[in-house]
Structure 1
Amino acid sequence: MAVYTTVSGADLQALLQDFDLGQLVDFQGIEGGIENTNYFVSLNDNAGCRQEYVLTLFEELNQSEMPYFVELTTWLAEQDIPVPYPLQDRNGIALKSMHNRPALLQPRFPGRHLETLTPDHCTQIGAALAKFHVAGKDFYLQRQAHRGVFWWRRESEHLTSKLSTEDADLLRQEVDLFDQLREQDWHLPQGAIHGDLFYDNALFEGDQLSAILDIYNACTGYLLYDLAIVANDWCVNPDGSVDSDREDALLKGYASERPFEDNEYLAWPQLVRTAAMRFWLSRLIPAMDPDSTQKIKDPDELRRILLSRIAKPAKLP
Structure 2
Amino acid sequence: MAFMSEHDVPSAHPIADTQGHYLRQVCGKPAALIQKLPGASILDPSAQNCYTLGQMLGKLHCVSKDFPQQRDNVCGPHWWRTTIQSLDPHLSAGELKLVHSEIEYQASFRNTHLPTGVIHADLFRDNVLFLGADITGMIDFYQACTDVLIYDLAISVNDWCSLDDGQLDNTKAQQMIAGYHAKRPLGDAEKQAWPVMLRAGALRFWLSRLRDLHFPREGEVTHTKNPAEYQNILTQRIEQHNHLNAHWPGDLIS
The alignment's TM-score, normalised by the length of structure 1, stands at 0.73
| Cα distance in 2 for residues equivalent to 1:93 and 1:143 | 20
Q: Give the aligned partner of residue 197 of structure 1.
A: 123
Deviation per CA, 1:126-166: give whole Å up to 9, x if none: 00001001111231111012222211111112223432222
- Do the aligned residues in 2 keep the contact of 1:156 with 1:281 (CA within 8 Å)? yes
- Larger deviation: 85-94 or 250-259? 85-94
| Cα distance in 2 for residues equivalent to 1:287 and 1:152 | 16
Q: Give the aligned partner of residue 255 of structure 1.
A: 181
Q: Give the aligned partner of residue 117 of structure 1.
A: 45
User: 1:115 Cα deviation (Å)?
Assistant: 3.0
Q: Give the aligned partner of residue 34 of structure 2.
A: 106
Secondary structure of 1:102's aligned partner: strand
Q: Which runs of 5+ in 2 are unaligned?
A: 250-254
Query: Does residue 62 of structure 2 align to residue 134 of structure 1?
Result: yes
Query: Does residue 227 of structure 2 align to residue 299 of structure 1?
Result: yes
- Do the aligned residues in 2 keep the contact of 1:138 with 1:191 (CA within 8 Å)? no
Q: Give the aligned partner of residue 202 of structure 2.
A: 276
| Cα distance in 2 for residues equivalent to 1:181 and 1:302 | 21
The letter for the 1-side match of 2:132 is G
| Cα distance in 2 for residues equivalent to 1:222 and 1:254 | 15
Query: Does residue 152 of structure 2 align to residue 226 of structure 1?
Result: yes
Q: Give the aligned partner of residue 193 of structure 2.
A: 267
Indicate how the Cα distance of structure 1 residues 224 and 89 shifts in structure 2: closer, same or farther if over 3 A, else same.
Answer: same
- Do the aligned residues in 2 keep the contact of 1:193 with 1:219 (CA within 8 Å)? yes
Q: Give the aligned partner of residue 252 of structure 2.
A: none
Bigger radius of gyration? 1
Indicate how the Cα distance of structure 1 residues 290 and 147 shifts in structure 2: closer, same or farther if over 3 A, else same.
Answer: closer
| Cα distance in 2 for residues equivalent to 1:79 and 1:290 | 37
Secondary structure of 1:137's aligned partner: helix
Secondary structure of 2:109's aligned partner: helix
Q: How does 1:167-186 map to 2 (within 5 A)?
A: 167-182=95-110
The letter for the 1-side match of 2:134 is Q
Matched residues, number: 243
| Cα distance in 1 for residues equivalent to 2:36 and 2:194 | 35
Secondary structure of 2:17's aligned partner: coil
User: 1:256 Cα deviation (Å)?
Assistant: 0.5
Task: Identify which of structures 1 and 2 has the higher relative contact order when contacts are C-alpha pairs closer than 8 Å and 6+ apart.
Answer: 2
Of 91, 96, 114, the match for 1:188: 114
Percent of residue pairs bearing the same amino acid type? 37
| Cα distance in 2 for residues equivalent to 1:198 and 1:303 | 17
The letter for the 1-side match of 2:47 is P
| Cα distance in 2 for residues equivalent to 1:234 and 1:219 | 21
The letter for the 2-side match of 1:80 is D
Indicate how the Cα distance of structure 1 residues 98 and 301 shifts in structure 2: closer, same or farther if over 3 A, else same.
Answer: same
The alignment's TM-score, normalised by the length of structure 2, stands at 0.91
- Larger deviation: 94-103 or 193-202? 94-103
User: 1:243 Cα deviation (Å)?
Assistant: 0.7
Moved over 4 A (4+): 290-294
User: 1:261 Cα deviation (Å)?
Assistant: 1.4
| Cα distance in 1 for residues equivalent to 2:207 and 2:155 | 14
User: 1:177 Cα deviation (Å)?
Assistant: 1.8
- Do the aligned residues in 2 keep the contact of 1:174 with 1:277 (CA within 8 Å)? yes
Indicate how the Cα distance of structure 1 residues 290 and 92 shifts in structure 2: closer, same or farther if over 3 A, else same.
Answer: closer
Q: Give the aligned partner of residue 207 of structure 1.
A: 133
| Cα distance in 1 for residues equivalent to 2:77 and 2:192 | 20
| Cα distance in 2 for residues equivalent to 1:290 and 1:276 | 20
